[in-house]
Amino acid sequence: MYKYTHWLLIALIFLCCTQTEQVVEVIDGDTFRTEKGEAVRLLGINAPELDDLGGDIAKDVLTFMIYNREVQLKKDVSDRDDYDRLLRYVYVDGICVNAEMVRLGYAEARFYPPDTLYKSIFENNEKVAVRNRRGLWSFAVFQVPDTALSTLEPVQPKTSGVISWRDAAGYYGQTRTVEGRIVVTNNTGKVCFLNFDRNWRKYFTAVIFASDFGKFPPHPEDHYLNRTVRVTGLIKEYQGKPEIILKSPSQIEIIK
């Protein structure tokens, strides 16, 4: 009797936390709109922007999976993001679309606490996608995770081929080591920005997302401030300026 009641309770919780909607528009590789006009952001993943390399492909894949179909929406802890979009795990015929986008290599795993329910599953899917060069992992779209399976894109040696942070915009799509002094930092709780110029809207920035905070020293915004560093990773353009996403402390070296 107890076992039956236990599983009934779990089923009731799942039903209370899910809703069914029809998809009427796919905005990009991780966002869509429902027939009720709600914008939905897929939890636990990040697909390239439409004007970035692979953005159109990621959108096409998501469109194939969900457009004009009935989907189940399951929330984690947070209900909406800062843009008033619903934050949900999305299911079609019992398959988690979020996890599939990562498994197929058209999105990377990215979690923001407290919404981390499936973090280990998504990260394992990502490792397999990287190892097998699936989807967009065959191109310089995502920063390769620092794991034993991440052999897709070799990291440039930190002692040679170092470029100045002022020149980083000339190396989009390349893995490079960038040297400079971090002069301004900001930790929003979801993202930590390590800026190499006070005009951070225009010049090079190193970025740490909350899902990776635990790998770095506590309060990275203080730890790296006013330090001269070498940052190694894939240089990407974001809102008109160069940046490197740091997934591991091995990507940033303090120069003494």
Helix (H, G, I), strand (E, B) or coil at 171: helix
Distance between CA atoms of residues 250 and 216, nearest Å: 9
Where in the chain do CATH 2.40.50.90 domains reside? 2-138
**Residue 69 C-alpha from the chain's centroid:** 25
Query: Could you say which architecture CATH assigns to the domain 2-138?
Result: Beta Barrel (2.40)
Helix (H, G, I), strand (E, B) or coil at 56: helix
* Biggest distance spanned by C-alpha atoms of the chain: 68
Residue 55: the pLDDT is 96
pTM: 0.82
pLDDT (tens digit per residue) in 62-73: 999 999 999 999
Residue 161: the pLDDT is 78
Share of the chain above pLDDT 90, in %: 82
| Range of lowest pLDDT (51-60, 158-167, 220-229, 232-241) | 158-167
Confirm if 26 and 59 have CB atoms less than 8 A apart.
Answer: yes
Mean pLDDT, residues 235-242 taken together: 92
For 136, list phi and psi in degrees, rounded to 5.
-80, -5
Q: Class for domain 162-254, per CATH? A: mainly beta
Confirm if 197 and 204 have CB atoms less than 8 A apart.
Answer: yes
